[in-house]
Structure 1
Amino acid sequence: MPTGTFRTGGSTQAADSPMVVAMPLSSTASQLTPAGDPLLAAKFSVPVIPGTLVRRKRLLDRLTEGTAQRLTLITGPAGAGKTMLAASWAARAAVPHPVVWLSLEDDDSAPGVFWTYILEAFRHHRVPLPATVGSPARADSVERSLLVRFASALARLAEPVVLVLDGLDRVPDREVASGLDFVLQHAGPQLRLVLISRVDPLLPLHRHRAEGSICEIRGADLAFTRHETATLLRRHGVLSSAETADTLTRRSEGWAAGLRLCALAMQRADDPAAFARSFAVSQSAVADYLLAEVVDAQPAATQDLLVRTSILDRVHPRLANLLTGREDAEGILAALTHANAFVEPIGETPWCRFNPLFAEVLQAYLRSHRPGLEPKLHRLAAHWFAENGLIVEATEHAASAGDWEHAASLVLDHVALDGPLTGPDAHRMERLFAGMPADIPKAFPWLRELLELRPELVDGHPHELVNGVPHLDGPEHPAPVETLSDRECDVLRQAALMMSTEEIAAELYVSVNTVKTHLRSIYRKLSVSRRRDAVRRAKEFDLL
């Protein structure tokens, strides 16, 4: 419905309020749900638009284009700006069709209650429906004939109507979803449905995509750009530079609620630019919001996984299982990703990542509520990454655990086996070891000096500077007492390629336990206890 007008039977009447005009509250107050509870008229009101709202034309135009089709889906995490986008669109004078708004709550999941609210929303917003449509008689179900009458009534409307359902994730009932799909299919072009949800609804979205009848606005679309962040700060009276806007946008990844909370805090800051660079997320309203809206809503096992894996830049299900000591990470991470709970997949891989602000909040919780656990988690992560051939990440986690000797040995082992690190990996190691404490074990003083004065260590690996490193040029080991079997050599060759035990098993078409048996035999024959030592020894004896 255009702002300031409402339509009935094709006529148009001016209205004083910028909101959608509705019938008097007494009309709704006299209605009851099938459970006998009065209908809450506030659910039919378009949310009030704050004066500081940034009206983002790129998204408003997409929503207008989307409502020319049957279905528009707006999904994203908590605080992404989904509701405000739809509300600001509904308040525009350029909205082409009448708008019926319904905000859903957890108590609306019963089919009879849901459809009672839908029907009353149309009446409340003065979209005429014949009395013959009726109302649900029971809270736990709705007759198919009622949906048929409703769809038929919609199909006979004089003009299309836009139905906005805000918070559909709170109504996860399959019967409700099935009924909604039926009405959408049979109401024809007169019904334009806008669904706002944190998760994908239980509708056949694949069919709408194939038909080209859906517009999707996702979390990535809702993220603020640097220009939009700068506009938001100005709306809050904060004078900022392009650098400040860029810093906030990058740190928040454009998350709307986080940016607004930061803007409110910056109003009280003496130096907004310094605040943007260094504010402690754990002590801000951002932390309160994320803990209340996201973390507290999760089961205990999920909360534990989130806190323990927050130390990681990227999370793999097997690594998460190691850090939690359980075997449920794959399902939990998939559920979090599906729920838009600030966890997102990394391409077509098993890996995922956390929103940076979300990770900061979880890390702060880890330090305050589980003191002493963080270094242990970093050590476990370091060994897992090393075992899987991801030396740079292994080294970073070893350093985070305070185990600089292990961190240095990882770099040395990699250089010995595979040659120098180059490119971005080299720069990451250079930055890492530049921060190495002065009181590291005396066996490695050359590493600190070299990385400060000669960063080409990882690029050139000068031989004169590593001749004295014990584990590279130490006492010779005796030759193997037993010859490696052909299959053991096959396993060792795959291990030299930094393949995991599971990957080796798949490559050789054997079980994981068989690979482990071969590795134990290799270790025994080569007098070593670690995979990388076995590879090094094998190269020394020309076994690879």
Structure 2
Amino acid sequence: MPSPKLDVPVPPARLVTRPRLLDLLDHARDSLVTLITAPAGAGKTVLLADWVRSRGGDEIAWVALDSDDNDDGRFWSALLEALCATSSVPRDNPLRSLAVPPNPYADHGFLADVADALDDLPAPAVLILDDVHEVTNPKPVWGLKFLLRHQPVNLRLILSTRHEAHLPLARLRLADELVEIGADALRFSVGETRQLLDASGIELGPNEVRMLVEQTEGWAAGLRLATLSLSDVGRSERLPADFAANDRAVSDYLVDEVLSRLPADMRAFLRAISICEQVSTELATRLSGRGDAGALLETIAERTSLVHRVDGAGHGYRVHALLRSYLLADLVRQAPDRAAHLHRVAADWFADHDQPVPALRHSGESRDAARITELLHRFAVGLVLDGHHELVRTVLDVLGARAIVGDGLLALVSAMLHLEQGNPASAERDLTHATAAWPAEPSADLVALRGLVRVRLAQFTGDIEGLVRVTEDVRAEPAQFEAAALLQRGTTLLAVGSRPAARKMVAAAYQLARDQGQGYVAVQSLTTLAWLAAAEGNFSLMVTLATTADNENARRGWCRTAEAAQANLLLGYGAFLRADLAGCLHHARRAAPLVDQGDPATMLGMSLSVETLRGAAEFELSDRGAGAQRITAARLATGNTRFTAEQCALCAVLEHRTATLLGRSRAAGEALRWAQMVIPESAEVHLMRARAQLSLGRREAAGKAIQSVLDGLAPAILPWSVIEAWLLDSEVALSAGNDTHARRSLRMALSIAQRLEVFYPVVFAAPEVTDLLTSRLGKLGKGTEAFVQQVFALRRALRVPPSVPLTSRERAVLRLLPTLRSFDEIAEDLTISANTVKTHVRAIYAKLGVTRRRDAVAVAIERGLLENETASTS
């Protein structure tokens, strides 16, 4: 025998050892037979070679079978020589002296002697037969079957083959003496692929690694060929979707190792069915025109393992992704008209079987405008409600803008897609086109669809009055619109404050959408329920629902939709209330591009909240001036649009707070005036008035302003505003020297904050209140004590600087300190006496803990008391 035939192959360079598979082979030592079945290039030989070399020992015999082993005498000569080369066969064992007869197949005495000699071994010998599929001659195959039937007790057979071996294995399976390792087990995982890339010096991001595994389906040969292609550049920005079709090494391997081994009719058959990701025998028959399609699929599956069954009944088959990619690209190159025809055939078949997604996809590939239009009219609305936006948009693009403009239904479908992409301006244009093409007797579908588009558009503009008006036109018929109609009505009820009715309607919409398989409407319902939870102060439920929606958006590929922006906005809001400001900023930034990509004039409702949260987080984390300015800019961009009370309250409260802390009395006043117009006599307005009065040193006026909130006479729009009110009341009481009142108010604030699981107001409470809280540690009760410890942990993590309680006049003086003006000149600018200026300066120095003007400026900048406006002042 040639030496390489019996030698264990040397594993390839940059070998990725796969412990999970080596363990399988270790356990297989106790079984009579181990069968590894997988297609060419799956890594069977590499795995076995790694196992033999890593486990050491010379008791394992190896035979690399090839077509020459169809000679019966050569086959048995190889087996005996391989066994006798191991330490498992003693020198006196008959195997070493057995002569291979001229016709082993017919010499039953020889076969019996082999079996007896194997039984006499002192310990089990392992014999690996690699590439068993190469042996097709019935004579050596019969000899192998003989060994399997007689099962020598001291022989462990490991067989590797590309396709199902026709061997007597049933009895071994029943006796649990057979270990089977299939193609699925040999597929590289994402982690193993990462190791392979690292060993080759190739850097890919997590998404690219996952995409590579998806394209190759973890096929070892495909992955190794990919590393060769990528190693030239060392880094790939993104692999093309048609990697197999464009990579010469991959296509050559597929042709040489797979396709060239199949008859011409099988290759033609595979090329025809490559149009589809998955085929049934019926569809394969339709595509190929062959009545024996089922039998042919089964034969190819057995011979290559690159076509495999996807159901136990054998009615569904898939061609391996790389092979299909190559075949399809070759078909399109060689016969584009036939490819288009096959796509039409597939589209018709899927449409007949009520499978809209593949039907529409294949119709788009066929470029048959009439058929595309027909299928869109039949399926598009349902697909959009289920979230197949990208598919519908792709097919609409095939038709072109002209076809959409002249078709009312397609224009409305296009409008729905533009809205979910965050582009209401384009949706309005589509709505105009639909109106222009409106038929004299519109169908029920058309009327219902227009109602949904109008309501959704009103939601984006933030026009509450318009939303209420157009909601009256929403229709729940035909049946496919019922869930969406319930959702839109519920959303409108939420916007006008009818929460119980809104919850009932949106919950019904969610259940109906799930029952009808309308995934996108179900996620929209989840998001709306999360907003309801937020309005009612159940922030834990809000985060749970928003997280579920966010996960579903990620799973279904809806990460760049309006719903994804809503979910991120809610998650950012939840993080803000937990004082997780980095998390707040992360989610707000994720939502911002989805908001900003639309027309600013029609995305203000969502933009107002997103920018408010971004600004508030930036204010506390990094740049106080920029954060405050972002909130103000968001408010100014709203114009006279009427938003929900919650959106207005959040912006007003946070803008007023940041402006007050920075001593920007004018900006604080503007925020208060705006709040008085949009949310008059709310708890938030009273809170802002009280804060303004206290900043001027008017504690009695501040106390009176906040009392109506504490008494429940001024309703809170934001549930956590009541926490702010009690904390401010505690601050007022401390300034008046009433410690008992201050402690009582602080206790009320903590009780509500703990119940709502809201940390932000307490974490950023005034220094005096924080000092009081510190003094009360150990006296608050077990539950409250744990909550307060979390508050202080957050303060430490955020490195909250102690705020400086400067009066309005002291802040005015402070803003002029960085200039070169003398105290007399500052007094003249502020129309006060020089002595008054000096008094204010001494107070500023004391509060900042400094003794010099230069140090006061430096500390004020560090604590955010002097921001960008300093430059303009000087």
Contact map agreement 2:201 2:234 (CA 8 A) in 1: no
Q: Which residue of 2 aligns with 1:498?
A: none
Q: Which residue of 1 aligns with 2:347?
A: 382
Over the residues paired in the alignment, what is the CA RMSD in angstroms? 3.0
Output aligned runs, 1:347-496, within 5 Å: 347-349=311-313, 350-413=315-378, 420-421=382-383, 424=386, 426-427=388-389, 429-438=391-400, 441=403, 445-455=407-417, 468=439
Q: Which residue of 2 aligns with 1:104?
A: 65
Task: Look up the SS of the partner of 1:382 in the other structure.
Answer: helix
Task: Look up the SS of the partner of 1:195 in the other structure.
Answer: strand
Measured after TM superposition, the shift of residue 444 of structure 1 is 5.6
Measured after TM superposition, the shift of residue 233 of structure 1 is 0.6
Does 1:71 find its partner at 2:33? Answer: yes
Q: CA 1:314/1:447 → structure 2, altered by over 3 Å: closer, same or farther?
A: farther
Measured after TM superposition, the shift of residue 426 of structure 1 is 4.2
Measured after TM superposition, the shift of residue 214 of structure 1 is 1.1
Q: State the one-letter code of the partner of 2:325.
A: E
Q: Which residue of 2 aligns with 1:156?
A: 120
* CA–CA distance in structure 2, aligned partners of residues 56 and 284 of structure 1: 28
Contact map agreement 1:408 1:447 (CA 8 A) in 2: no
Measured after TM superposition, the shift of residue 329 of structure 1 is 1.2
Contact map agreement 1:112 1:137 (CA 8 A) in 2: yes
Q: State the one-letter code of the partner of 1:304.
A: A
Q: CA 1:372/1:140 → structure 2, altered by over 3 Å: closer, same or farther?
A: farther
* CA–CA distance in structure 1, aligned partners of residues 292 and 104 of structure 2: 33
1:227-270 per-position Cα deviation (integer Å, ceiling 9, x unaligned): 10010011111123222221211111100011011111111126
Contact map agreement 2:40 2:258 (CA 8 A) in 1: yes
Q: 1:194 aligns with which of 142, 155, 158?
A: 158
* CA–CA distance in structure 2, aligned partners of residues 237 and 420 of structure 1: 47
Q: 1:134 aligns with which of 81, 90, 98?
A: 98
1:25-49 per-position Cα deviation (integer Å, ceiling 9, x unaligned): xxxxxxxxxxxxxx33321011111
Q: 2:262 aligns with which of 279, 298, 307?
A: 298
Q: 1:121 aligns with which of 70, 74, 82?
A: 82
Q: 2:5 aligns with which of 43, 51, 54?
A: 43
Larger helix fraction of residues: 2
Give the total of aligned pairs.
Answer: 427
* CA–CA distance in structure 2, aligned partners of residues 131 and 191 of structure 1: 13
Task: Look up the SS of the partner of 2:105 in the other structure.
Answer: coil
Measured after TM superposition, the shift of residue 208 of structure 1 is 1.3
Contact map agreement 1:294 1:341 (CA 8 A) in 2: no
1:101-140 per-position Cα deviation (integer Å, ceiling 9, x unaligned): 0000112123333222211222234534426863333358
Does 1:62 find its partner at 2:36? Answer: no
Task: Look up the SS of the partner of 2:123 in the other structure.
Answer: coil
* CA–CA distance in structure 1, aligned partners of residues 308 and 209 of structure 2: 24
1:332-352 per-position Cα deviation (integer Å, ceiling 9, x unaligned): 111111224411111235111
* CA–CA distance in structure 2, aligned partners of residues 447 and 140 of structure 1: 77
Contact map agreement 2:208 2:239 (CA 8 A) in 1: no
Q: CA 1:141/1:94 → structure 2, altered by over 3 Å: closer, same or farther?
A: closer
Which structure has the higher relative contact order (CA within 8 Å, separation 6+)? 1
Q: CA 1:453/1:175 → structure 2, altered by over 3 Å: closer, same or farther?
A: same
1:453-493 per-position Cα deviation (integer Å, ceiling 9, x unaligned): 214999xxx9x9897399969xxxxxxxxxxxxxxxxxxxx
Q: State the one-letter code of the partner of 1:238.
A: I
Q: Which residue of 1 aligns with 2:294?
A: 330
Task: Look up the SS of the partner of 2:330 in the other structure.
Answer: helix
Unaligned runs of 5+ in 1: 1-38, 474-544
Q: State the one-letter code of the partner of 2:364.
A: A
Q: Which residue of 2 aligns with 1:317?
A: 281
Contact map agreement 2:129 2:158 (CA 8 A) in 1: yes
Does 1:182 find its partner at 2:143? Answer: no
Q: CA 1:302/1:277 → structure 2, altered by over 3 Å: closer, same or farther?
A: closer
Q: TM-score, normalised by structure 1?
A: 0.72
Measured after TM superposition, the shift of residue 181 of structure 1 is 3.4
Contact map agreement 2:72 2:105 (CA 8 A) in 1: yes
Measured after TM superposition, the shift of residue 301 of structure 1 is 0.8
Q: CA 1:198/1:423 → structure 2, altered by over 3 Å: closer, same or farther?
A: farther
Q: Which residue of 2 aligns with 1:248?
A: 212
Measured after TM superposition, the shift of residue 200 of structure 1 is 2.1
Q: CA 1:427/1:348 → structure 2, altered by over 3 Å: closer, same or farther?
A: farther
* CA–CA distance in structure 2, aligned partners of residues 52 and 334 of structure 1: 36
Unaligned runs of 5+ in 2: 421-430, 445-874
1:361-380 per-position Cα deviation (integer Å, ceiling 9, x unaligned): 00121122224221111112
* CA–CA distance in structure 1, aligned partners of residues 119 and 165 of structure 2: 23
* CA–CA distance in structure 2, aligned partners of residues 440 and 133 of structure 1: 86
Q: CA 1:358/1:444 → structure 2, altered by over 3 Å: closer, same or farther?
A: farther
Does 1:267 find its partner at 2:238? Answer: no
Task: Look up the SS of the partner of 1:331 in the other structure.
Answer: helix
* CA–CA distance in structure 2, aligned partners of residues 147 and 40 of structure 1: 24
Contact map agreement 1:311 1:378 (CA 8 A) in 2: yes
Further displaced range: 58-67 or 377-386 = 377-386
